[in-house]
Structure 1
Amino acid sequence: MRRGKNWWRVIGAVVVGSVVLAGPVSAQEELDEAAVEKVVSGYADKAGYPGIVVAITKGDRVLHTGGYGRDSAGEAVTGTTLMPIASVSKSFTALAVMQLAEADKVKLDSPVRDYLPDFRISDSRGARVTVRELLNQTSGITDRTLPEKSLPQPDSLAGTVSRARAATLAVEPGTQHFYTNTNYHLAARLVEVVSGEPFADYLQRHVFEPAGMQATTTIDQTPRDLPSGLRKGHVYAYGASIAATEPKRFVGGSDGVLTTASDLAQWLIVQNGSGVAANGTRLLSDAGVKAMHTSSDRRWTYGMGWDTDQKGRVHHSGIWFTYSAQALLLPDGHGIAVVGNSGVGLANEGIGQLAEELAVLVEGGEPSSGAPVRLIVDLVLGALTLLSVFLGIRNLRRSRAWAVRFRDAPAWRLAPRLLPRLVPLALLVSLPNLIGLLFGGGRDVTFVQLCYYSIALIAWTSVAAVLNVGVLATRVTLLVRLRRSAADVPEPSAPAQEALTG
């Protein structure tokens, strides 16, 4: 019996030694397609995404590309379905600028005005803004100093330079990070001027084609430039996904790239391959890619077209009002990209959580599926809307009794009872700024775009505002009538008074 145990020990030692010599065995060399589908389907159900595309890579290998669900026309979403990647597009613009820098056509620390002579803003400090500061989002221009969504939308990249003349700087250039699309509109225009090619043509010839991204393109303005092959995305309300056209916005250079899961896989390989595409073409040097992925200052985490997190992962989110996207590069060489055909909204700040769950999966963990928060929030808002309707109707019906009660009350007693009725209206009017500050970090958003963001929130605040203003107007009108009626009653004559008192 003891001899048998010794043999097992010898065999065990041989096995262990073999494993050590061979190196660790990766459980993720081949991805479990069923596991990916389970994670994506579970996320789509809880977050309200009708269709999602996914790309997963490891080093220079494509582990998975695919589509799940349906588009707004009811057709199946596949790995070749065209999708906008929104602000993930900034990584393409940054790479284009870096290519020009490596070709000695641009110096990153030179003023933007050296390359864009028409670049003038309403702040003398603008002359010091550098190319690097545009890419780092540290120019000092913010959505508050130039509300790019609220202003008239330009027709071209040249128009964005003209529009920027109204900008001021929130801080000294290079001292703080403020995310705004304007910086990347200007960077894309710089590519046009320096290269002598339209921005879309430059990306096609120097980025998309060398990277092997055959189906990828870029546009300047939505919905004007959207190709026929791109289906409408969706907005979300009370558990339903509603097909909607993206509102008018200028997206060139900032969030205008349209691509597929298959092409996104090639882009992930370029990023994790030190600038070399799967076909062996070098788009950028290793040092250039590292510079894009790394913040130039410890005060912020944003590099050039990419951000980093505390785990050392490189990422960038993308948000349209009808689509959302996320790209994530893991330290172990995995790349993950996801795009969903539903926009950002209240309790759903994009599709990034799905990328996180897939990251857990490829690292050998067990992704956790949370509660459908988006649906819960909308149902709560729906309940508040119904409550507002009930209270509003009840208060309207009680308006005459209220007016009789306070017919003779002085103004100082009426004001505290009437003025609070204006609070819902004030909330409705201030919502764009409030949402921009609370959930967008100071980003600009219009009221129309806010309707895309949360139909349920707009419905509640609108109903509450209308009913409360209605109650206020009704009560004031009845009060005025009652006081006028009292004033119109004639004073009794002297004989009548004597009769009444005698």
Structure 2
Amino acid sequence: MEGTMSDHQRIKEKLNRVLAEFVEQEPVTGLSVGIIYDNKMLYAKGFGVKNIETGEAVNETTLYHMASVSKTLVAAGIMRLVELGKITLDDYVVDHLPYFTLSDGQYRKITIRQLLTHTSGLPDEDEFEWDRPQYDELSLERYVKSVKDRHLLWEPGTNFYYSNIGYEILGDLIAKVTGVSFEQYMRENILLPSGMRDGTFLKQEASDTSLATPHVLGIENGYGGRVSDVFPYNRAHGPSSTLYANAIDMCSYAIAQLKQEVLSADCYDLMWRKYADTGYGPEMEGIGLSWFLGEYKGLRLVSHAGRDTGFRSHLVILPDKGIAVCVMTNSDYQGLKVVWQSVLDFLLGEEVPYIKKSLAHDLAGWTMSHGIEAAAERFRSIQPSQLDRYLVSEPELQFIADTLFERGARQESEQLRELSYRIFGEQH
């Protein structure tokens, strides 16, 4: 795809068209996309709205809650301390945080490397208390002390199990080793050196005029996004979840990873080395130091996704091609895999006339507005040749049903389960 400025302009025009069509056809509220090609920023643009109630447009400087993509920066922060000789990856956590305890005495064996690779044996957190946020600098320390009654799932170093708890512990460790707050250390040592001028882990520092509003799935005013009652911020969960960044920031960060500008090549060799199998499929089959490792169409892929209340994000990098794609949305119910895969295919030279439309969202919307019989008839009316334009996923329809159930829309949830059975049960 290297070429003249006019070639790049045609690429951008094609991206503008297919991404705008995707946002128009899906119940997504806002979407931003940043693209690196040949180790340079090719594209950064926003679509849709920051807030469905105000209609304010998204652009390339709109800030999103990046959720678990945050963890990749924490890994970089830890590796910077390794480079400086402040810590080693095989240090025991208790050597730096003597107040860290668990109900299982094996916690003393947990190392920094095991926290980074989700092989510590720690369980995951299931209550982030977004509705009861903490804002003070001691939030992380209090959180680390609060996990004292948790049980290890197995002996440290034995198996992979994704744990947000481990990253809060890493954030507190950074603060204690450096003597400054986690957020200050990250800004000075990772964000700014990566060129992320608007990026921050502190919501208080994120510009209110730039920050996207979180949206959850609703049916009260028609099927689609509604503004979330809570914003997913709690300083006690900063390291695992609360990076705020825009498309330009994420392009700068991706370039820094591709060019290995912030850390040494040795650090990237360690970060992008497989430590355990995840069981997550070919694109994320291994875990490095925070990063998921796999392949995409025969190419080495490193990535991380994120999802919290009202937001989703995905950063994917093809290190051997100098390509990266970051996709962000302020709708927590909208899958992004179809977007980044379509963009990658396009960058790899494939013809991509459109991004596939979600069949699950289409039929769920029809069920809410016209009833289950009409939705079933709509599916039957789709010709096999037309079905190629749709992303057909039974798990996605089940996810939507589960989401509505959690929101209290139990009757509508049951309708979607019945619809799923009619459609996919018939095909099995």
> Structure 2 length as normaliser, TM-score?
0.77
CA distance 1:255–1:27, change in 2 (3 Å): farther
C-alpha RMSD of matched pairs (Å): 3.1
Q: How does 1:104-123 map to 2 (within 5 A)?
A: 104-123=85-104
> Partner of 1:302 in structure 2?
287
CA distance 1:335–1:248, change in 2 (3 Å): closer
CA distance 1:153–1:307, change in 2 (3 Å): farther
**Structure 1 residue 253: Cα displacement:** 0.1
Secondary structure class of the residue paired with 1:55? strand
In 2, the alpha carbon distance for the partners of 1:464 and 1:307 equals 33
> Partner of 2:228 in structure 1?
244
2:173 maps to 1:190: yes
> Partner of 1:178 in structure 2?
161
State the one-letter code of the partner of 2:410: T
Secondary structure class of the residue paired with 1:179? coil
> Partner of 2:303 in structure 1?
315
> Partner of 1:341 in structure 2?
330
Match of 1:218 among 177, 186, 201: 201
CA distance 1:151–1:317, change in 2 (3 Å): closer
In 1, the alpha carbon distance for the partners of 2:359 and 2:324 equals 27
2:15 maps to 1:36: yes
> Partner of 2:120 in structure 1?
139
Which whole-Å deviations, capped at 9, do the CAs of 1:193-216 have from their partners, x for residues lacking one?
101110111011111111121111
In 2, the alpha carbon distance for the partners of 1:121 and 1:153 equals 24
2:64 maps to 1:83: yes
> Partner of 2:243 in structure 1?
257
> Structure 1 length as normaliser, TM-score?
0.66
2:195 maps to 1:228: no
2:55 maps to 1:66: no
> Partner of 1:445 in structure 2?
none
CA distance 1:246–1:355, change in 2 (3 Å): farther
State the one-letter code of the partner of 2:45: G
In 2, the alpha carbon distance for the partners of 1:62 and 1:463 equals 44
Gaps of at least 5 residues in structure 2 are: 279-284, 374-394, 415-428
Is the contact between residue 194 and residue 253 of structure 2 (CA under 8 Å) also seen in structure 1?
yes
> Partner of 2:317 in structure 1?
329
**RCO higher in 1 or 2 (8 Å CA, sep ≥ 6)?**
2
State the one-letter code of the partner of 1:134: L
In 1, the alpha carbon distance for the partners of 2:131 and 2:101 equals 18
Which whole-Å deviations, capped at 9, do the CAs of 1:413-444 have from their partners, x for residues lacking one?
xxxxxxxxxxxxxxxxxxxxxx9xx97xxxxx
Which whole-Å deviations, capped at 9, do the CAs of 1:382-405 have from their partners, x for residues lacking one?
489989xxxxxxxxxxxxxxxxxx
Structure number having the greater helix percentage: 1
> Partner of 1:480 in structure 2?
none
Secondary structure class of the residue paired with 1:173? coil
The 10-residue stretch of structure 1 (363-372 or 310-319) with the greater mean CA deviation from structure 2: 363-372
CA distance 1:25–1:157, change in 2 (3 Å): closer
Secondary structure class of the residue paired with 1:210? coil
> Partner of 1:401 in structure 2?
none
**Structure 1 residue 94: Cα displacement:** 0.7
Is the contact between residue 57 and residue 269 of structure 1 (CA under 8 Å) also seen in structure 2?
yes
Is the contact between residue 228 and residue 309 of structure 2 (CA under 8 Å) also seen in structure 1?
no
State the one-letter code of the partner of 2:66: I
2:410 maps to 1:461: yes
Is the contact between residue 138 and residue 175 of structure 1 (CA under 8 Å) also seen in structure 2?
yes
Which whole-Å deviations, capped at 9, do the CAs of 1:110-138 have from their partners, x for residues lacking one?
21111111110111111101000100011
State the one-letter code of the partner of 2:153: A
Is the contact between residue 316 and residue 328 of structure 1 (CA under 8 Å) also seen in structure 2?
yes
State the one-letter code of the partner of 2:256: V
Secondary structure class of the residue paired with 1:313? strand
In 1, the alpha carbon distance for the partners of 2:407 and 2:49 equals 27
**Structure 1 residue 461: Cα displacement:** 2.3
State the one-letter code of the partner of 1:328: V
CA distance 1:59–1:193, change in 2 (3 Å): farther
In 2, the alpha carbon distance for the partners of 1:62 and 1:457 equals 40
**Matched-pair identity in %:** 24
Secondary structure class of the residue paired with 1:253? helix
**Structure 1 residue 217: Cα displacement:** 0.7
> Partner of 2:383 in structure 1?
none
CA distance 1:342–1:298, change in 2 (3 Å): closer
State the one-letter code of the partner of 2:287: Y
